[in-house]
Amino acid sequence: MITTALVGLAVALAAAWIVLAVVVLALRTPGQSTGAMLRVFPDAFRLTFALYRDRELPSSVRWRLRIAVLYNIQPINLIPDFIPVIGFADNVVVLAWALRSTVRIAGAPAVDSHWRGTPASLAALYRALRLPALAPPDGSP
């Protein structure tokens, strides 16, 4: 019985790693390194915290961001963070919910003013959030 549980856990972890790899490869732009793509989550968390501190945003947006920040910094989540890959799945979902609603309500300029990552990472974040693509910085199509 223990062997079956361990094999099931190993298969689940392997499947989670494969899903993570597919998502990372699908979201990255041509020429963007995998390492740069993996830095999107910490950049997105910093963005969430910076947007939360922005007093110009509506309070409804700031409440969503507050929920996302508090959920991500607390040690106890729906799926414990010490479980590789899938432990952070609930954190990513809550963060995506808060950022997606922030962009929809406050607009892309609010996000652009607080983004500290690369433009390619921001474009990958928008793709992950299923938001309209950003215009290139030079104005070309």
| pLDDT tens, position by position, 78-106 | 777 777 667 777 888 888 899 999 989 98
Q: Is residue 137 part of a domain?
A: no
Of the CA atoms within 13 Å of residue 116, those in its CB half-sphere come to 12
> Residue 64: its pLDDT value, please?
92
pLDDT tens-digit readout, 22-59: 666 666 666 666 676 667 778 888 898 899 999 999 99
Question: Number of C-alpha atoms within 13 angstroms, CB side, residue 11?
Answer: 6
pTM (predicted TM-score): 0.69
Number of domains present in the structure of the chain:
1
Q: Is residue 24 part of a domain?
A: yes
The residue-averaged pLDDT of 11-15 equals 68
Residue indicated by tokens 């432990």: 87
Is the residue at 141 inside a domain? no
Asked whether residue 133 is assigned to any structural domain, the reply reads: no
Q: Which domain does 108 fall in, by range? A: 2-128
